Amino acid sequence: MDGESSGKRRVLGIIGSQRKLGNCELFVKEAARHVPGCELNLVRLPGLDIKPCKGCYRCLDDGLCPIEDDITFMKGLMAEADALIIASPVYFLGAHGSVKMLLDRAFSFFPVVPKMRHKPTILAVTYGLRDRIGTAQQTLLTLAAFLGLSVKAAVSLKAALPGDVLAKSHLRTAERLGRLLFGPGGRSRQARACPFCGNDIVRIRKEDFICTVCHGSFDIGEKGSTRGTPGWDVSDIGFIADHREWLKGMRTRFIAARKKILRLTEPYRDIGRWVGPDQGVKE
């Protein structure tokens, strides 16, 4: 029996932290308490066996990754959930490494992306030092974009010590987001952020800004108004399909030029010595 027919709303909490009852876990659970009819499932990313992407592109055709690990498990969990709450602490000005490992394997999610289209999602990062958030929120936004998720809210919470996220202000935020998850409305765009996707990390050019997620270009007027050219529509799975086709084309170009590339790279084969922790210096 699925969540809709049983009257339950299946929410998957993805915890990008190894701390048990840490701030990420506590916030996800508190937000879920305010989701009407919520049936909460939790997965701790650092506890899964998710290996690095090999860059072989074999998943582009049928979505089947040759690596045998827990990605298949994650695909099933995320595809069957009715909504997601993804939380990560800020580590060295970025999201926890387990989140990036999941993102790097996103190509293998292509077959289930239609099931994940517009699936309501809340993103949360916790941090300690004021304004030292780095690229953590951007990583979560990128993950959501490449999986076709609909981001209802993306928040950054100042909570470093265990239990800090239980401060009254954060509890109110969790309540608000829990009620918002399946409710009307969505993510409000920041004034100083990309006007197309809401990402607030941009590259500065001489004449304008380039968003580092959707790659739209825009400038900011004297009164804070923005104007420019949209990039990829990260809320549309067509963006994901287009990216996949581009990668297929690149693979075809490589295959056609493979012999020439091998000839060019062969002289570099024996330059330097590879070292490892067990063998010492390897010839």
DSSP state string for 190-208? PTTS-TTT----EEE-SS-
CB of 54 closer than 8 Å to CB of 67: yes
Let me know the angle formed at the C-alpha of 187 by 101 and 122, rounded to the nearest 5 degrees: 40
Let me know the angle formed at the C-alpha of 137 by 70 and 58, rounded to the nearest 5 degrees: 35
- Which three-class secondary structure state does DSSP give residue 154? strand
- At 1 the pLDDT is 37
52-105 tens-digit pLDDT: 999 888 888 877 889 999 999 999 999 999 999 999 999 999 999 999 999 999
What are the residues whose beta carbons fall under 8 Å from the beta carbon of 106, sequence distance 6 or more? 143, 146, 147
Residue 247: how many other CB atoms lie within 10 Å? 14
Quick one: tokens of 68? 């045998």
CA distances from 268 to 89, 115, 263 (A): 40, 45, 10
**What is the rounded distance in angstroms from the CA atom of residue 157 to the CA atom of residue 19?**
16
- At 229 the pLDDT is 92
- Residues (pLDDT < 70) of the chain are 1-6, 186-191, 224, 279-283
- At 133 the pLDDT is 84
- At 190 the pLDDT is 61
CA distances from 199 to 188, 192, 194, 211, 241 (A): 11, 9, 5, 7, 21
**What is the rounded distance in angstroms from the CA atom of residue 271 to the CA atom of residue 129?**
44
- Closest C-alpha to 239, from 118, 89, 91: 118
Half-sphere exposure for 26 (CA within 13 Å, toward CB): 20
